[in-house]
Amino acid sequence: MAMIRCKPILHHLPLENSMLPYYELRRSKLSIPIRSSRPAMALFSNNPIGFRTPNRTRVLAVVSDGLVETPSLADSEVIFSENFPLMRTRMVDGKVTVRLDGSEGEGSRRRLVVGCDLEGKWILHWGVTKELGSQWDQPPPQMRPPGSIAIKDYAIETPMKKSSSTEGHILNELQIDIDIDDGPSILAIHFLLKEEESGAWFQHMGGDFRVPLMGLKGDEKVNYLKGDQNKREDQQGFSIWQGAFDQISTLFLKVDGPKSKKKNTVFNTKSSMQQSRLNNGFYAEYSISKEERVQNTMTVTVRKSNEKDKNLVCFETDIPEDVIIHWGVCRDNSKKWEIPATPHPPATKIYRRKALQTSLQHKENGLGCWGSFLLDKDIAGLLFVLKLNEDVWVNNMGTDFYIPLISMSSLPSPTSRDFDLTLPHNLEKSKEQNVVHPFGNKFLELSTSQTEDAESNLLEECGNTESLPADHTAYPHEIINEIQNLVTDISSEKSKATKTKEAQGNILQEIEKLAAEAYSFFRNSTLMFKRSVPDAVSLKPSKQVPSGTGSGYEILCQGFNWESHKCGRWYSELSANANELSSLGFTIVWLPPPTESVSPEGYMPKDLYNLNSRYGSMEELKNLVRRYHGAGIKVLGDVVLNHRCAHFQNANGIWNIFGGRLNWDDRAVVVDDPHFQGRGNKSTGDNFHAAPNIDHSQEFVRKDLKEWLCWLRKEVGYDGWRLDFARGFWGGYVKDYLEATEPYFAVGEYWDSLSYAYGEMDHNQDAHRQRIIDWINATKGTAGAFDVTTKGILHTALGKCEYWRLSDAKGKPPGVVGWWPSRAVTFIENHDTGSTQGHWRFPAGKEMQGYAYILTHPGTPAVFYDHIFSHHQQEISRLISIRRRMKIHCRSVVKITKAERDVYAAEIDEKVIVKIGPGHYEPSNDRQQWVVAAEGKDYKVWEASFAKLASHVN
């Protein structure tokens, strides 16, 4: 349940197309697309709740504010008229109440009543904790109201019932009866609210609501149900505060959202609270706001004006708030924003020298806004968006509103100065000869022999550069010059004669580092770095920096599931599979967390140097690694760096003092984790509430962790890392750890919620994959990340037969693999989502379609242990064989040839074609003969015949 954090999305101009600038979308934390069956508006806001509509109609004084009085238009010729539907949201205020009633029956029971006075179908998602530091448990059966449904093994969901209050208002209430005798066994009740229709979740101050039933008075337990709180004068009685264990609900919301059509939107109750003690009870009240959809319209009419060489543009909308037209004009069919020549309408403001802003007037009846202004007749079109307040902008389904003012057929064609700066287009042209590539208004010279490598290795490492605006001229000279020098150095005849392949490889890795910095610059408007540039002639190969991709041809196997620890000798069992996994074509195996852990699965580590775990002993682990190395397979260690369980309590009884070889004190814990009283600095990521969150900004922490990781590399023989809960700390610290340990391969678990609107997955998941790419970029590309975006989209595309989702707006794969494929580790299942956990299980029966997709596409594919040792093994093996035989790698080029309701097809590297879905597709044999290489239920893979013949010859 990731909290929504947003920044204002401002409209930057000019653009080659009229889409919201992609580099600006990257900078924003979230976009909230509003989906509708009709053409709808995309609403962007830095407020997750939206913008507020007054409870009563606002009647404002009419001011001219730069708009002309509407003349008599009865005989005016209409050039253009269109009615645009505007779908937006508004907030309705209400309250959540929590009440502990007095004794019921014979005095052995208490009744907890949770209420909400907003309309809708409300569900309480709740559980209990039985001891400090524990996770949620399901309440005992006698506490569960009728209609409750179990959610996994840690919570239940109970629908609230409608009732009438004494004031006649409709309430939604849920009554939970608590036996006083249950008090000693239950520490607290935790809950969240969910509205069933919208799928929205409601928290309190960023976490769970927590109702404590037990407490401590010194060393003495206090039972609030029995009224023990009255023993202390300073005791405020029954209270509600943010839960310490909201990661349980976080996990539920994060992984189950797509499956149950939940909107991944979380609302917080306001901090304002009223509470009072009653006789033998307690009452608390919280303000709450709920989104409602509102349909508005805007009519734009263009007429010929009586004034010579002018057109009159008229706007009218029923939006009651203040509305500003943020506008510009274009003089040809390029649709590039320009500021028209003066005079501008009175009181019009110039916005950043790129657009004009003119306010509409409020209608006298208060039921909307209107306005009009004059434009020269030689203007081809009017471009605009609406600004409703400082942070809310409305555009036309992701693009600008465009109003044609003259016939487009009469317009001149764009001149040479208007050439398209889209990189792939120009790179295609460059293959014919030595070319000069436009790159951020600088030029990078590449020879024909380098073009293919440069395209896949250099430009791709910059992330998605297609939407780079043409006027982005502030690209730093230092980086571009250094890239030029490095490319020139590696491609020169002298260099080819003197440099070894290893040295050339080091230079290419340096280029990747610089490209990552260039990518960072693309997303930021201010310079964040400055590098000195060595002379190309004297440049020496730098120390090898891990690239996060291995050879680029890696195929990963997760070598465990959620239950693997139960056998007690997993290392020995897995060791026996080394040769089989090698023969299947796997090059890397990912092992479970190796350290002593509070939880048997290994994800609550305690003594990091103690490698005797539920999976086996340290010696068994070392033997396992040696066995896999002997089979030609590299090994990844699953390291948990974000949090660590303590050995001792501090003076306040808080578990934040560590023992073992890394005997840290509470300075190693972040200060903003309220449950563990750390004395470190603020967290650089999201907190994991079940254990102390480690402060990686502390130098002694980083030093100790780097020594530990280097010890694992040397002592155990790990070749790289899988980084658990990578959202918990800044990717720059990951870069520090990886540069110190020099892994062959590294991948981070940056798990985030996808974007949903009204229970349906949004087609555009750019914001989701951007957050993953931001983390990768913070590591400077030293680590890859699991492509959660691709997994989520595959869930919906395959599960609902909506294969059109597998192509984004630019015809590329819609996940991380479509933007930064060499850093995307694609997967369909793992120990959390599959196995007995089943938090976000892949659609049943569709697994092989998923593997046909990831094993033929770029990125580094990962196969789940449960799938490879199942009836799927033969089909997976065949797909791996095709990938290896055809040399598909992490940077392979995808050309999507079909993405429709029931079928998806793509050509990879002009050597492989894959089709998934029940629909029909056959490749054309006009320019190449294709041979079926693999097929199964609703999937098919073809190889280019020349490649197949060549493979037989070899």
Residues annotated as catalytic (active site), given as ranges: 724, 749
Alpha carbon 108 to chain centroid, angstroms: 48
Closest CA to 209 of 111, 281, 116, 142: 116
Using only the alpha carbons of the chain, give its radius of gyration: 31
Q: Is 417 helix (H, G, I), strand (E, B) or coil?
A: helix
Task: Note the residue count of the chain.
Answer: 954
Per-residue DSSP letter, 231:
G
Beta strands in 775-840 (DSSP E): 784-786, 824-826
Cβ distance 643 to 694 under 8 Å? yes
Closest CA to 26 of 597, 383, 466, 442: 466
- 176: Cβ contacts below 8 Å, ≥ 6 apart: 111, 112, 113, 114, 139, 143, 145, 189
Q: Is 710 helix (H, G, I), strand (E, B) or coil?
A: helix
Report the distance separating Cα 634 and Cα 551, nearest Å: 12
Q: What angle do CA 668, 671, 673 make, to 5 degrees?
A: 100
CA distances from 521 to 94, 314, 480 (A): 44, 40, 12
Cβ distance 187 to 129 under 8 Å? yes
Q: Is 823 helix (H, G, I), strand (E, B) or coil?
A: helix
Q: DSSP secondary structure string, 611-668? A: --BTTB-HHHHHHHHHHHHHTT-EEEEEE--SB---SEE-TTS-EEE--SSS---GGG
Cβ distance 571 to 615 under 8 Å? yes
Per-residue DSSP letter, 32:
B
Cβ distance 267 to 96 under 8 Å? no
Q: What angle do CA 188, 193, 196 make, to 5 degrees?
A: 145
Region class of 114: left (phi > 0), else alpha (psi between -120 and 50), else beta: beta
φ and ψ at 807, to 5 degrees?
Answer: -135, 130
Report the distance separating Cα 292 and Cα 294, nearest Å: 6
Q: What angle do CA 499, 503, 508 make, to 5 degrees?
A: 115
Report the distance separating Cα 194 and Cα 196, nearest Å: 6
Cβ distance 231 to 218 under 8 Å? no
Region class of 257: left (phi > 0), else alpha (psi between -120 and 50), else beta: alpha
Place of tokens 């949090």: 643
Q: Is 599 helix (H, G, I), strand (E, B) or coil?
A: coil
Virtual torsion, Cα 622, 623, 629, 635, nearest 10 deg: -40
- 231: Cβ contacts below 8 Å, ≥ 6 apart: 217, 222
Helix/strand/coil percentages in the chain, nearest 5: 25, 30, 45
For residue 50, what are its two tokens?
């939206």
Cβ distance 229 to 166 under 8 Å? no
Closest CA to 692 of 647, 723, 660, 651: 647
Per-residue DSSP letter, 909:
T
For residue 348, what are its two tokens?
């019009």
- 109: Cβ contacts below 8 Å, ≥ 6 apart: 103, 177, 178, 179, 180
